[in-house]
Amino acid sequence: MKHWGKAVLGLAVTVFLLWWVLKDVDFLEVVRNISRGDFWLLGASVFVATSGFFIRALRWKVLLAPVREETALRSRFAGVSIGFMANNVLPARVGEFARAYAFSRLEPVSATAAFGTLVVERFMDGVVLLLFLVIPVMTPGFPAADALAEGGGLATLRAAAGLVIGVLAVLVVMAAMPRRFVLLTERLAVVLSEDLRSKVIAGLESLLRSIAIMRDPRLLLAGFAWSLFFWTWHGLSFWLGMLAFGIDTGFVSAIFTEAVVGFGVAIPSAPGFFGTFHAAAEFALTTVYGVPETVSLAFAFAYHFGGWIPITLIGLWYAWKLGLSLGEIGHADEEIEEEMEEEARDEALQVADLDRAKAWVRQMEREEDGTEGAEPRRPPETGTG
């Protein structure tokens, strides 16, 4: 199995983090706190969280504009749903590949181009989540800095900021000077085999076409506006879920918690973000805001599992409608890799054809004076004819 290493690592991380958050806690008390929760508020929070996937589909239209200006909302929502379902039930985080692959089955957009837009989406998400980490820290009601430092929070915040700024710098350079970036990559890739080098260059060029939004201020602003709206909306779901368990620390604490969770679930884990979600939520609410562990974990388990169910079912339904099996979805990354290889072969043929045509023209120019009246040479055969 291609992903067995990632699957084992993710499972190990999940088991360790669940053990870590529960080792000093009476789990029966966590269960009792869940049973005492306000299920109307919890249901409202799950509804808000699930409707956020529709907002993701609306935002994706802006990110896809450089690739294809008009795409159907139903296709985008199906892709989003299948992608998050895949992350919830399949190992190795294949959700982004599955999302791009499913979308390419519904719209005349290559899976590699669709996947490239998701790189930009993750970057925008990172910027907004970093903002949601910084804003609460600067508010008067934020707990003392030593509480944040106690759990390694300041180091995490600095690392997240560095990561987002680094990605921003790379994307800006790539978008501003795409051809130079390709030339640089070609020079650095000389140590690779010809086949692998072709794959790398083809994937890079597909990505560069997808991040063209970075060169369009209007689309870039629209993308960030949608991202800010989505994460604010998603923060509302966290706030309602926290209130369901009596955690009344304010809306600002809710967006701080969702930001910590957003970066936390980036750590490899078993399908569904089990363990990473709970450890991140417990850190934000207990370590930083002083919420009792059994209460913060009651929120984490109930909110996480409550939100896990709807999008998983929706994604499975769309997969069934498209005739996609879980096995096929699980190999979406391989399908995209094969598509990149095909694009690389096509581009190599086009380059070879162009080189042969140029060579033929140069030879004709050299022989022009001495071949007047002679039968003209036939142009070279091309590999694309």
- Work out the pLDDT band at 25, boundaries 50, 70, 90: very high
The 3-state DSSP class for residue 84 equals helix
Question: Alpha helices, DSSP H only, in 23-67?
Answer: 27-35, 39-64
Name the pLDDT band for 1 (thresholds 50, 70, 90): very low
Is the per-residue pLDDT at 380 higher than 70?
A: no
Mean pLDDT of 60-76: 93
User: Beta-carbon neighbour count of residue 104 at 10 Å?
Assistant: 22
Q: Is 324 left (phi over 0), alpha (psi -120 to 50) or beta?
A: beta
DSSP state of 109: S
Model pTM score: 0.81
Q: Are 34 and 247 in contact (CB under 8 A)?
A: no
Which of 87-91, 214-218, 353-357 has the least mean pLDDT?
Answer: 353-357
Q: 124 with 219: CB under 8 angstroms? A: no
- Top pLDDT among 346 and 81 is at 81
Among 33, 13, 40, residue whose Cα is nearest residue 306? 40
Asked whether the predicted pLDDT for residue 374 surpasses 60, the reply is no
Q: What digits encode the pLDDT tens for the residues 150-188?
A: 555 566 666 766 776 777 677 777 767 777 877 888 788
Average pLDDT over residues 216-244: 95
CA angle 320, 324, 328 (to 5 degrees): 145
Dihedral sign, Cα of residue 361, residue 365, residue 367, residue 369: positive
Tokens describing residue 251? 């809306």
Instruction: Report pLDDT for 147.
Output: 59
Structure confidence by residue, pLDDT tens digits, 259-310: 999 999 988 899 999 999 999 999 999 988 999 999 999 999 999 999 999 9
